[in-house]
A and B are shown apart, each in its own frame.
Chain A
Amino acid sequence: MPSISPREHTFLLLVGVLGILTLASAIGFALKTVVARGEPHSTIDNLNSRVKAWWWMAAVIGLALGAGKDGVILLFAFASFVALREYATIAPGRRGDHWALLTSFFVVLPFQYFLVWLEWYGFFSIFIPVYAFLVLPMVAVTASDNRNFMQRAATLQWGLMITTFCISHVPALMTLEIPGYEGRNAFLIVYLVLVVQLSDVFQYVWGKLFGKRKIAPEVSPSKTVEGFVGGVASAVVAGACLWWITPFTPAQSALIALLITILGFLGGLVMSAIKRDRGVKDWGTLIEGHGGVLDRLDSVCFSAPIFFHVVRYWWTP
């Protein structure tokens, strides 16, 4: 495996990410001056606010990774909190759900991340699917409100699975013990986040440049076949090129990148279907140009647990 140290890895990654962001900012600036001539232009302005938000996101993720396991857990716990908030805001609910929701926000969510911190894999992986699943409807039933009870219980459980259970698998990558890879687990998070997000960015770029045939017009009118194919292919190449920060070989790295980008794409469609059904365009407004935290993390939600299990199954003893 690599002969260069984690410190050099970090340095190279930093240069790479800063380079991409600088390039993106430069392209955004050029488009704004040359194509839009400084006038308002919805696509270019949106591109620029997206790039600007990316600088912030990269800085926040970088700082959290720099702070180690605790920092990463805190960051993703916060992301889960905001995501659950966005979900619960849009999901249908009734007054009788008040205490079940309070329990989700202030007991289930913090406890799930506490289990990640304890590195208690056995409990961490069943706490929400089993215990929250059983207890939340019990809490809800005390409100004596029968209307749509089954839908309400299922809606809340599903929201916790996506926003809390799935997202908590990202910081859980810090707890895997991979022989010969000690002290480098943070790079697994960098790999996952970079591949998934690059895939989103590449799909956006390919779609904007060459997109013609809509891939799922009813669910997500902006996604095209060209964007999907180009985006996934580019992300797989990017993933393969990042093999040196992972415990994978270049071929394995490409294959895993293919798996997580396809999961991410389909997951994005699922979240899009929910938004459309509820009549909203974005989950929130926290990240300028992108929408809410769930708009940015939708593909991570669906790929993180599978990525976690692939690595845990094949790379840990």
Chain B
Amino acid sequence: MAFLSDAIATGLTVFTRLVTGAQARWIGCGPQAKQRVYFGNHSSHADFALIWASLPSDLRVRTRPVAGADYWGQGRIRKYLIHEVLRGVLVDRVPAGSGSGERALDKLLAALDGGDSLIIFPEGTRNTTDEILLPFKSGLYHLAKERRDVEFVPVWLENLGRVLPKGEIIPLPLLCSINFGTPMRLNGEEPKAAFLDRSRKALLDLAQFARPK
């Protein structure tokens, strides 16, 4: 079965690259084998497949997407994809203060302690508005506070929201780019709001760089 999931993973990678004409641009860092949390803008289901596909294969097998349990925990195909192929970490998306936020954080920390890198979308949900980037949820800050040696790399996905908008199933063959920015960490006693602000701004700066005016 491991063979099958590897084959699907390769197929998914090739398919995603072909459809999106995906171009990985390592702007602020290189594809190094460091433990990282890649945080990106979220506009399409294809998002983590694309970040994942654009990593070199040796990094890819050590990088796990963080996904919403409400969507990916349903149906056999989705479950198979997220568990066996993408090796995702499933978390519950529920309002803050209900206690499950801590449980989600524990799962992510456990994945990091296992030596893997993570792909997360701090907006919390796919952005279908006209806003360029939604406000960040606080999970990113808690991760940075608990694991200070991990690099946090902003990843701007350009055009993916147009390739496969929410609710559509046939992708458009537009050209996409995946832009990797400069790694960042939590500074000393930096407060939550400041860090979330800074990381969100890093992503927006990258967007400015990546997209036509």
Residues of chain A touching chain B, judged by Cβ–Cβ distance below 8 Å, are 81, 85-86, 88-90, 93, 95, 98, 101-102, 105, 278-280, 284-285
Please state if B175 and A89 are interface contacts (CB–CB under 8 Å). Answer: yes
Query: For the complex, is B170 an interface residue (Cβ under 8 Å from A)?
Result: yes
Contacting residues, chain B, for A85 (C-beta < 8 A): 21, 173-175
Known: A89-B159, A93-B162, A95-B165. A101 touches B172 (CB 8 A): yes
Known: A85-B21, A278-B212. A98 touches B168 (CB 8 A): yes
Please state if B165 and A86 are interface contacts (CB–CB under 8 Å). Answer: no
**Shortest beta-carbon distance from B206 to chain A in Å:** 16
Known: A98-B172, A102-B170, A105-B172. A90 touches B165 (CB 8 A): no
Please state if B23 and A285 are interface contacts (CB–CB under 8 Å). Answer: yes
Contacting residues, chain B, for A81 (C-beta < 8 A): 173
Contacting residues, chain B, for A89 (C-beta < 8 A): 159, 174-175
Q: How far is B161's CA from A98's CA once the two chains are assembled, in angstroms?
A: 11
Known: A85-B173, A88-B174, A105-B173. A280 touches B165 (CB 8 A): no
Q: Select which of A86, A88, A280, A284 is within 8 A of B172 by beta carbon.
A: A88
Please state if A279 and B213 are interface contacts (CB–CB under 8 Å). Answer: yes
**Shortest beta-carbon distance from A111 to chain B in Å:** 17
The 5 closest A-B pairs by CB, nearest first: A279-B213, A279-B212, A89-B175, A95-B165, A278-B212
Number of interface residues of B (CB under 8 A): 15
Q: How far is B174's CA from A279's CA once the two chains are assembled, in angstroms?
A: 17
Q: How far is B170's CA from A89's CA once the two chains are assembled, in angstroms?
A: 16
Contacting residues, chain B, for A278 (C-beta < 8 A): 212-213
Contacting residues, chain B, for A86 (C-beta < 8 A): 175
**Shortest beta-carbon distance from B24 to chain A in Å:** 12
**Shortest beta-carbon distance from B208 to chain A in Å:** 11
- The CB with the most chain B CB atoms within 10 A, among A88, A98, A279, A285, is that of A98
Q: Mark B137-172, 1 if CB is under 8 A from A, else 0.
A: 000000000000000000000010110010010101
Q: How far is B173's CA from A98's CA once the two chains are assembled, in angstroms?
A: 11
- The CB with the most chain A CB atoms within 10 A, among B23, B170, B172, is that of B172
Q: How far is B75's CA from A237's CA once the two chains are assembled, in angstroms?
A: 68
**Shortest beta-carbon distance from B31 to chain A in Å:** 18
Chain B residue at smallest Cβ distance from A278: B212
Contacting residues, chain A, for B161 (C-beta < 8 A): 95
Q: How far is B212's CA from A95's CA once the two chains are assembled, in angstroms?
A: 18
Q: Mark B191-213, 1 if CB is under 8 A from A, else 0.
A: 00000000000000000000011
Q: How far is B159's CA from A278's CA once the two chains are assembled, in angstroms?
A: 14
Q: How far is B123's CA from A163's CA once the two chains are assembled, in angstroms?
A: 37
Q: How far is B162's CA from A175's CA once the two chains are assembled, in angstroms?
A: 38
- The CB with the most chain B CB atoms within 10 A, among A89, A278, A280, is that of A89
Q: How far is B21's CA from A88's CA once the two chains are assembled, in angstroms?
A: 13
Contacting residues, chain A, for B21 (C-beta < 8 A): 85, 284
- The CB with the most chain A CB atoms within 10 A, among B165, B170, B174, B213, is that of B174
Known: A93-B162, A98-B168. A284 touches B175 (CB 8 A): yes
